[in-house]
Structure 1
Amino acid sequence: MEQEVEGTNGKYKYGDIVLRDLDGNVLPTLDGAYAVDPTHPGVKQRIDYYMNKFKSKGFEYIKIDFLSHGAMEGKHYDANVQTGIQAYNQGMAYVNEVLEGSMFISASIAPLFPSQYAHSRRISCDIDGSIGSTEYQLNNLTYGWWQNGTIYHYTDPDYMHLTKGGSMEGAQSRVNAAAISGTVFLNSDDVTDATARQYMETLLTNPEVNGLAMKGKAFRPVEGNTGTQAANVFVLDDQGTRYVAVFNYTQNAVQRTVDLVRAGIASEGAASYTVTDVWSGQSQTVSGSSLDVTLKAAESKLYKIVPNP
């Protein structure tokens, strides 16, 4: 509490800017950190200090974390602010003012609303790259896909840590999960690690997969009621071209049948489609209203489906 606040030239200490209750008591820590008052001039000077520092170094992307602290209830410096969300609005508007549109802003651990201060918001918490973690992220996509292109420009599925997948199939599933999430597309592997380099060279250089991620569109789950689990089939209709992603979250090989009618691709009755594996480029003709998919442990498939004349 006696530490000087950066950017205030010694005028304020952290004890001056932490958020307090109506009786003047410092609020308890949340996730190991104290909340500060976004309406306090010392906090705004601190924002000036750090944001201008990052701007001067040429950064164009910033993730701002633990933003929910800025929405906590308490007694604020600005007496006109009566709620935590009012304070959050004021603080984030000030961040935007200082950055002047110079950076892409990704919000993390942030209130869902208001949303106008960031280009993207994390759709889930931290992902470690394991297939269980990939399923956790896709559970968030299952129920949070609607945020993409609506209240936020993009949804952020967290970084891709490929070597944590345990296998090439698991790592590829992590990439597929990010590519369909509409999407901030970041890798976090250690490039000095030989296995990481192999995975990165194999999985981050496919122009078709990267192009799909570049569309910035979130796939939608085929099934919307999955309890506490993620959907395992997702679909995107991109101006008439359909894409389907199919996942296996288990450590056993599985056989899945995708109902193309249920996925909104086929109508009732026989039809013929060209189904192309986006990763390999291999195509097959599928007739009828179902697509059979064989998946290895932790494997996933990404298909482009086009109706035949």
Structure 2
Amino acid sequence: MKKVYDIIIIGGGPIGIACGLEAKKNGLDYLILEKGPIVNSLFHYPTNMQFFSSSEKLEIDEIPFISKEAKPKRDEALEYYRRIVTSNKLNIHLFEKVESVKKDSNRFNVISSKNTYSSNQIILATGFYDIPNLLNIPGEDLSKVTHYYDNPHYYSGQKVAVVGASNSAIDAALECWRKGAEVTLIIRGDEVGQRVKYWVRPDIINRIEEGSIKAYFKSSLVRIEKNTVTINVEGKHITIDNDFVLALTGYKPNFNFLKMLGVHISDDEKKLPQYNPDSMETNIEGLYLAGVICGGMETHKWFIENSRIHAKQIIQDILSKQPSTSAIK
């Protein structure tokens, strides 16, 4: 007979890993499915990124995270989470994308890019980093436009327009400028975002005030062409020379996947998925949410340090409903 898992965890990021650890400790038969490498989203963060949180706040299952500085860098986080997976021999399938999940009676049937599975419960811990918020303007599909930023060396000596005022946009603007790019910031509001890292915000403000980085406030990008971009600045259109556009305007969860699963989503702009905050169970019995996906479009609401507790909440709820489990059903 086909094996039925107690839990299938979709997403192998920090919170998915935390759920796997908690499931293993409690004797549940689990499987983590990750469409890319271990902590795929973190892997695609900028090369030089430094976390806002200190290392102890990024720890899961009380496993110490030692970093050179109080706030770790991306590569240190990759090392930390990878070692957790390998040292604890977590049951994780990498580079295996989940394509569909359907509930049949009391079980979930999961179809991935490589196999099919059956499970009594599903934990969805897929984050939000895979789908960028598009500008929806002419020229956005040009090859010089990207919604992800990696390494500033690539942009040395180039005219770079950075769209956004959050941490990712400000980090990119400063790094590219320091590597010799001519940087223009395009910011929708009237100031640099208040949530920008407190040690970075004064830096970008000083660079703008001294004229090293040009910034247009209360502005938006309206057109991208091969050698130029056009900016709407308080109703006036300005065209400037341009080689590359970094449209770092944020990301969103895969709402279509949530809807396919039957999860109710609020009709307002927040698009909050429905779940019980005590158990993290959605309106679909046996389907749980963990991590930043719980925040809908409020992607700043949940992050590693305040959502790692979801793992214990979910596993305890599952145990309370299934005090006796077995690997083979």
TM-score above 0.5, yes or no: no
| Structure of higher RCO (CA pairs closer than 8 Å, 6+ residues apart) | 2
- State the TM-score, normalizing by the size of structure 1: 0.31
Structure whose residues are more often strand by fraction: 2
Larger radius of gyration: 1
- State the TM-score, normalizing by the size of structure 2: 0.29
